[in-house]
Amino acid sequence: MSANKNLVVYAFPHAGASANVYRPFCQLHQDKGTAVLHPVEIPGRGMLGREPEVTCLQTLAEKLADTLYSDFRHKQQQGIQCWATFGHSFGGVLSVAVTDVMHKKYGIKPVYSMVSGSVPPSEQDTDDLHLWSDESLLQKMREDQGTPNTVLNEPALARRYVAQLRCDFLVRSQFPSLRDLRVVQPLLLVAASDDPHVTEEQLQKWRQHTSERTSMIRVDGDHFAVYRHWPVIQQAMDTEASLRLAAENKMDSWSVFQ
């Protein structure tokens, strides 16, 4: 692991996706910046394809919290001392829920959580998307344009992605139970100019889910534009980490003179 890396960012995928959505950006982080990008795999898909799916939100959050804590302890031995999270859409709420479990269970908190294109729990409506037919879910995936047509046009792959999406929608239907969620880290909010699913006004409501500050990062494009603007996201990650590190060093220096 590079000596100049002092932060690991755990990246949570959007609904229906796997950790692979972040693989193209891992080398970018390895080559430059202060953060290592660590894609989070959801049980039942990708490298964890042999594991059973988890459809209970609380069980999933606890399982992922245990996995991330174990990984972070390992990375601490390699010289990385700080962690943060990134989550897009479905992954945004899930990532923040996991940080809450980690704080309560292990007493650790991230330096920040970056939440992209994600409706906060206080604004979540109940829906029945997990009960839709395979054909309806496949059509929704085509309309959302978040899954490559090469996948959707291959029947076997399409069925797998539809099953993953249904599982995530079932988990998402439980997000309203997090209406009172309040974490202890800053939230960096990412808004896309033409996002048909999440407005900037809705994103601002994340303010009530943290005891710390929130800030807004804006990109041009639709709901999945964040993946096309990753250098902007990476720069924001590095800037935030530098600000937090500088603040901590200032506090440490001040304490020496007390």
Identify the pLDDT of residue 146.
79
User: Tell me: the pLDDT tens digits for 38-87?
Assistant: 999 999 998 888 899 999 999 999 999 999 999 999 999 999 999 999 99
CA-nearest of 50, 51, 52, 48 to 13 is: 48
Band the pLDDT of 247: cuts 50, 70, 90. Answer: low
Lowest mean pLDDT among 115-129, 138-152, 153-167: 138-152
Give the fold, CATH level 3, of 7-123+177-256: Rossmann fold (3.40.50)
Checking if the pLDDT of 142 tops 70, the result is yes
- Percentage of the chain beyond pLDDT 90 is 68
Residue 119 tokens, joined: 């409706």
- Percentage of the chain beyond pLDDT 70 is 93
User: Tell me: the pLDDT tens digits for 151-208?
Assistant: 778 888 888 888 888 999 999 999 999 999 999 999 999 999 999 999 999 999 999 9
How much is the mean pLDDT over the chain? 90
Identify the pLDDT of residue 257.
45
String of b and e for 218-247 (b: at least 16 CB within 10 Å)?
A: ebeebbbbbbebbeebbebbbebbeebbee
Q: Is this prediction's pTM over 0.85?
A: yes
Identify the pLDDT of residue 253.
46
Checking if the pLDDT of 243 tops 70, the result is yes
Band the pLDDT of 140: cuts 50, 70, 90. Answer: confident
What are the CA-CA distances from residue 176 to residues 94, 106, 124, 246 (Å)?
A: 12, 25, 6, 36
Identify the pLDDT of residue 3.
57
